[in-house]
């Protein structure tokens, strides 16, 4: 799994038996400590070694380095969960059709890092989360599953995001487990696109 924060979705995966073999992060974060407690290998490929968090960031170099580490460990499926770095082509070339992402909106609406804020400011009455096959394009790629989350008048960004995360912690492990089962049967994840689950 590729994560950048607290690792709550990673924890939810482990709790339901999804076999996570590696947690990789782009910065030091709680997910590394969590992986240690859960007995899962962890790896920090730090953005600061590639220019940090500004316009000097070497996205291609960073992606090549991270991809090398994943390939060296025999990773078969990559699941991103709150990973704060947009990755370049090398990752998708190494894992074609095998990079999953979860996003806190009903894509294609509200792409990008501030999706929850955008949903609130737009005046829509519902949003949700989407699990999709990631591509080089930001928050794009075939949708595998979605679930709706209502927006209440009293919601702020924090309260709405937390309700979306509760749904993500159930939906994402379910979809990852389903994708892993399909890979075990020789079925590529791309064939699952369009089988959208909405609730």
Provide Rg for the chain, Cα atoms: 16
With b for 16 or more beta-carbon neighbours within 10 A and e for fewer, the 134-149 pattern comes to: beeeebbbbbbbbbeb
Residue 68 annotated to the active site: no
Of the residues 92, 103, 132, 161, which is catalytic?
A: 103
Residue-by-residue DSSP string for 102-132? EESSSTTSS-STTHHHHHHHHT-SEEEEEEE
Count the neighbouring beta carbons within 10 Å of the beta carbon of residue 123. 7
Catalytic residue positions, numbered: 103
């Amino acid at each position: 799994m590729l994560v950048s924060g607290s690792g709550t979705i990673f924890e939810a995966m482990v709790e339901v038996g999804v076999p996570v073999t590696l947690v990789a992060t782009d910065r030091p974060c709680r997910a590394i400590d969590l992986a240690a407690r859960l007995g899962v290998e962890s790896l920090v490929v730090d953005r600061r070694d590639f220019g940090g968090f500004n316009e000097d960031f070497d996205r291609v170099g960073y992606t090549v380095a991270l991809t090398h580490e994943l390939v060296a460990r025999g990773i078969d499926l990559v699941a991103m969960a709150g990973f704060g770095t947009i990755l370049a082509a090398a990752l998708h070339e190494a894992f074609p059709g095998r990079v999953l992402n979860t996003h806190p909106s009903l894509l294609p609406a509200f792409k990008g890092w501030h999706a929850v804020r955008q949903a609130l400011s737009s005046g829509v009455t519902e949003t949700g989360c989407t699990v999709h096959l990631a591509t080089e394009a930001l928050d794009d790629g075939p949708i595998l599953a979605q679930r709706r989350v209502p927006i209440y008048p009293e919601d702020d960004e924090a309260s709405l995001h937390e309700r979306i995360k509760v749904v993500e912690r159930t939906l994402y492990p379910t979809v990852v487990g389903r994708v892993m089962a399909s890979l075990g049967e020789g079925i590529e994840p791309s064939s699952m696109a369009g089988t959208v689950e909405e609730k």
